[in-house]
Amino acid sequence: MIDALITSKTRIKLLTKFFLNRHAKAYLRGLAQEFGESSNAIRLELNRFEQAGLISSETDGNKKVFRANSKHPLFKDIHSILLKHLGLDHIINKVIEGLGNIKKVYLTGDYAHGVSGDIIDLIFVGNEIDKAYLIKLIDKAEQMIHRKFRYLSFTEEEEKRYFQDKNADDYLLLWQE
């Protein structure tokens, strides 16, 4: 969907990297390695985003580190478009409607780090989650967006134990009651 509007694959990768998780940050050479693209192609796009105020940079030693400008008026809109592109908005809305007593939904794995992949990892927190219904929703979403989903479900107590040793960059809170 988004690739019909934005023809630069590098631009789409950068948007996903920085605008899916507002905490994501990276430097030029790291992005070149991660994306498997030339640093010049990435530098051009980073410069465009920085000139538009969509991303900001700071110097860390001899590296220029980039991150999304979450105060930009379009940040929330771009974030929302990316969630729609990944099909996460559909799953979250459906999950909240009929899955049970859902308290939170987290995105983890590659996408939480802003790295596009074939598998989307989600964590559902709540009590009495209807797992049969969840499997049906995930099957529909996988067919719709041509990506696989992996999920975990936790009670609120299990969530506390699971996240106590985790880095905040390893997960992204998508929805909370």
57: left (phi over 0), alpha (psi -120 to 50) or beta: beta
- DSSP conformational letter for 78: H
Kindly report, residue by residue over 143-157, the tens digit of the pLDDT.
Answer: 777 788 899 999 999
The whole-model pTM stands at 0.68
Asked if 151 contacts 109 with a C-beta cutoff of 8 angstroms, the reply is: no
Asked if 165 contacts 83 with a C-beta cutoff of 8 angstroms, the reply is: no
CA distance 50 to 67: 10
Residue spans of alpha helices (H) in 64-103: 75-86, 88-98
Percent of the chain, pLDDT > 90? 33
Kindly report, residue by residue over 126-137, the tens digit of the pLDDT.
Answer: 888 888 888 888
CA distance 73 to 40: 28
